[in-house]
Chain A
Amino acid sequence: MNAPSTGPATLPPIKRRNAELVMLLLALGISLGAFAAAGLALNERIPGGMFGYGFTFGGLAIGVHAALRFIAPYADPLILPCGIFLNGLGLSMVWRLNQGEEGEHAGVGMQLTWAAIGMVLCLLILFFLKEPRVLQRYPYITLLLAIVLLASPMTPVLGQEVLGARRWIGIGGFTLQPSEFAKIALVVFLSGYLVMKRDVLSLASKEFKVGPFKVLDLPRMRDMGPMVVAWCIAILILVGTKDLGTSLLMFGTFLAMIYAATQRSSWVIIGIVMFLAGATAAWAIFWHVQQRVTIWLDPFNPEVIDAVGGSFQLVQGLFGLAEGGVLGTGLGQGQPDTIFAADSDLILVSFGEELGLTGLMAIVVVIFLLCERGLRVALASRELFVKMMATGIAFVIAFQVFITMGGVTRLIPLTGMTTPFLSAGGSSLMASWIMLGLLLRMSDNARRPAPQAIQDEGMTQVISR
């Protein structure tokens, strides 16, 4: 669409920072409200540290908002409030779940620190990464980074196995979950790589027909390289770290991005077939994969419940959700704290129990809106690399939530994985804020009106295919 043809070039640009501020304040109010409600129900009083936390968290959030006014004034007005909404609710839930153990503020202080570090990282990205396309320059270094991060839990010294999955590395007393960062590196790499290779990857060698109907355009055999590599990495993660969730997330993201780049559904179908074949083989060979499937299909079998590493956690989670029902038990009035990993992998269950279906749906819808805004950024961006990166980030968030929530609600097999923004855990929260920072930066660039000089030459045309 040509700007001069639709109206005078002097139209006031839409910044919508005030809408953002209103939404932000509402989100902060909700976070504090959650604290207060949980405190009232648990201890019959407003939690003592609430205002301290409120000031820290709110101050940081408003700080990010203020910075946006100067350095990214055209950024999407919903992305930040959605992030704060989720992060704030997560903080309150982590606080509430750690009540009654080791003092009143165990756990939440750390989580607040991670949130602060995350928001600072987000700000740094906004400040220093004026043009996201610079990330395009070194795709293979990014790939190496992603692979190193993914492989690190498999190394003998750094890697730590917790409850059958090697998802962590330990550095100086802290544990990190490198796969959380690896997924960002992977998205950045794929964006650069696929933009370079999309023409080759879009070439079709032959059509696959059923009768007179074209079903698929099959890609050329010699272009299968990247797909095979991605598949191998996914299977290696599955086997090496026993982490089905990360494997699924990485491979799903790869498929989504190759589809976005080439618009060829054949890639997706080939990928799904290969992944299913690999997963079936893993199922046949590895006991822990078999157990995951058994837990998924037959969780209420008493033997499966009582087995070591059996479905006890999943079933407890389902009971928790049922306990919550439509309106929930109310914050602080349920017993989500009796479930293992209630504040990390199963945090959505905790919300489902205490806020009920009504609250859980609101949270899921907010996450969806965040992803939808991410995809809007992709649609509105002019550069292919940025389009790919925004698509990738939005999809990673959406798919990760699908894997975690689908797992705890028994839609798909349960695998240990954090929920972005909500779960306790530094790696997850920092990675979430980095992704948010990238989205904000990209949306600012996408929505910013192009400079006049270029506009005359028709540069503001939005290319869409």
Chain B
Amino acid sequence: MSEVTLIFIKIVFLSVLWLFVLMAVGVIRTDLLGPSPEKSKRAKQSEPRRSSAPRAPRGRRNEPRSLVVTKGPLAGTSLNLTSQPIVIGRAKDSTLVINDDYASGRHARIFSDQGKWIVEDLGSTNGTYLGQQRLTNPQPISVGQPIRIGKTVLELRK
């Protein structure tokens, strides 16, 4: 095997290695940007980026200011919403302590994520309900939507 051939093989091989890298980067790019405008929207769905423009005004329009207890022992209580998450439960260090036999120690959590408010069940025994639906995953909530924990019902107000 002559020296030149071996050098040639080496250079070709290294080029192909980088071809693989470049193609892989190409695949990622298509994944991110999409080959066509239609697909790109689709692709963005799997690439959660929270800064997309059209949502911002909607978020501001529906900006809730407080969390209000509408039913249950604490009915009428209102909490101002800040950027801090609100933990609801019987535990003493919860943000909103509710004395309810059906509530767990750390029952649920309500938090803001870039202008959206989201409720998440923290593995409670009796569940957290958004409307009639028992929460399995964190869910965004909108103003006026009732959240039920045991006998307590809460909702966001503007």
CA distance A457 to B135 in the complex (A): 12
Contact B20 A23 (CB under 8 A): yes
- Interface assignment of A199: CB less than 8 Å from any CB of chain B: yes
Contact B6 A199 (CB under 8 A): no
Contact B42 A362 (CB under 8 A): no
Known: A11-B38, A14-B39, A16-B27. A30 touches B9 (CB 8 A): no
Contact A30 B16 (CB under 8 A): yes
Contact A462 B45 (CB under 8 A): yes
Contact A40 B28 (CB under 8 A): no
Residues of A within 8 A of B41 (CB): 6-7, 11
- Interface assignment of B10: CB less than 8 Å from any CB of chain A: yes
Instruction: Pick out which of these stretches binds chain B: A74-82, A228-236, A239-247, A306-314.
Output: A74-82
Q: Which residue of A lies closest to B54 (CB)?
A: A5
- Interface assignment of A101: CB less than 8 Å from any CB of chain B: no
Taken residue by residue from 32 to 60, chain A's Cβ proximity to chain B (1 for < 8 Å, 0 otherwise) reads as: 01100100110010000000000000000
- Interface assignment of A323: CB less than 8 Å from any CB of chain B: no
- Interface assignment of B92: CB less than 8 Å from any CB of chain A: no
- Interface assignment of A64: CB less than 8 Å from any CB of chain B: no
Q: Which residue of B lies closest to A377 (CB)?
A: B46
Residues of B within 8 A of A135 (CB): none
Contact A23 B48 (CB under 8 A): no
CA distance A85 to B24 in the complex (A): 11
- Interface assignment of A459: CB less than 8 Å from any CB of chain B: yes
Contact B17 A362 (CB under 8 A): yes
Contact A30 B20 (CB under 8 A): yes
CA distance A29 to B45 in the complex (A): 34
Contact A77 B46 (CB under 8 A): no
Contact A463 B118 (CB under 8 A): yes
Contact B42 A461 (CB under 8 A): no
Contact B24 A23 (CB under 8 A): yes
Which B residues between 1 and 30 are near A, CB-CB below 8 angstroms? 1, 5-7, 9-11, 13-14, 16-21, 23-25, 27-28, 30
Contact B9 A40 (CB under 8 A): yes
Query: Which one of B16, B113, B122 lies within 8 Å of A465 (CB-CB)?
Result: B113
Bin the interface of chain A by size. 35 or more
CA distance A373 to B31 in the complex (A): 11
CA distance A200 to B33 in the complex (A): 38
Contact A199 B10 (CB under 8 A): no
Residues of A within 8 A of B13 (CB): 30, 33-34, 37, 331, 355, 359
CA distance A103 to B71 in the complex (A): 81
Query: Which one of A27, A33, A464 lies within 8 Å of B113 (CB-CB)?
Result: A464
Known: A366-B21, A463-B113, A464-B113. A6 touches B44 (CB 8 A): yes
Q: Which residue of B lies closest to A42 (CB)?
A: B1
Residues of A within 8 A of B90 (CB): none
Q: Which residue of A lies closest to B11 (CB)?
A: A327
Residues of A within 8 A of B6 (CB): 40-41, 330, 333
CA distance A78 to B1 in the complex (A): 36
Most buried by B among A30, A44, A356, A463: A463
Residues of A within 8 A of B19 (CB): 26
Residues of B within 8 A of A200 (CB): 106
Query: Which one of B17, B28, B54, B118 lies within 8 Å of A369 (CB-CB)?
Result: B28
Taken residue by residue from 172 to 214, chain A's Cβ proximity to chain B (1 for < 8 Å, 0 otherwise) reads as: 0000000000000000000000001001100100000000000
- Interface assignment of A382: CB less than 8 Å from any CB of chain B: yes
Residues of B within 8 A of A363 (CB): 17
Q: Which residue of B lies closest to A198 (CB)?
A: B122
Instruction: Pick out which of these stretches binds chain A: B62-70, B73-81, B136-144, B146-154.
Output: B136-144
Q: Which residue of B lies closest to A82 (CB)?
A: B24
CA distance A41 to B1 in the complex (A): 7
Known: A358-B18, A366-B20, A366-B21. A464 touches B42 (CB 8 A): no
CA distance A358 to B7 in the complex (A): 14
CA distance A436 to B101 in the complex (A): 45
Residues of A within 8 A of B23 (CB): 22-23, 26
- Interface assignment of A65: CB less than 8 Å from any CB of chain B: no
Contact B93 A6 (CB under 8 A): no
Query: Which one of B10, B39, B45 lies within 8 Å of A328 (CB-CB)?
Result: B10
B32 to chain A, nearest CB (A): 9
Contact A380 B18 (CB under 8 A): no
Query: Which one of A5, A77, A379 lies within 8 Å of B48 (CB-CB)?
Result: A379
Contact A380 B123 (CB under 8 A): no
Contact A331 B10 (CB under 8 A): yes
Known: A1-B44, A23-B23, A199-B109. A458 touches B139 (CB 8 A): yes
- Interface assignment of A383: CB less than 8 Å from any CB of chain B: yes
Q: List 24 A-B contacts (CB under 8 A).
A: A1-B44, A1-B45, A1-B48, A6-B45, A11-B41, A13-B42, A14-B39, A16-B30, A82-B24, A355-B14, A356-B14, A362-B17, A362-B18, A366-B24, A379-B47, A379-B48, A380-B48, A459-B137, A460-B45, A462-B45, A462-B48, A463-B137, A464-B113, A465-B113
Chain A residues with a Cβ under 8 A of chain B: 1, 3, 5-7, 11-14, 16, 19, 22-23, 26-27, 29-30, 33-34, 37, 40-41, 44, 77-78, 81-82, 85, 196, 199-200, 203, 327-328, 330-331, 333, 355-356, 358-359, 362-363, 365-366, 369, 372-373, 376, 379-380, 382-384, 446-447, 457-465
**The 6 nearest A-B residue pairs measured at CB:** A330-B10, A362-B17, A462-B48, A464-B48, A463-B138, A380-B46
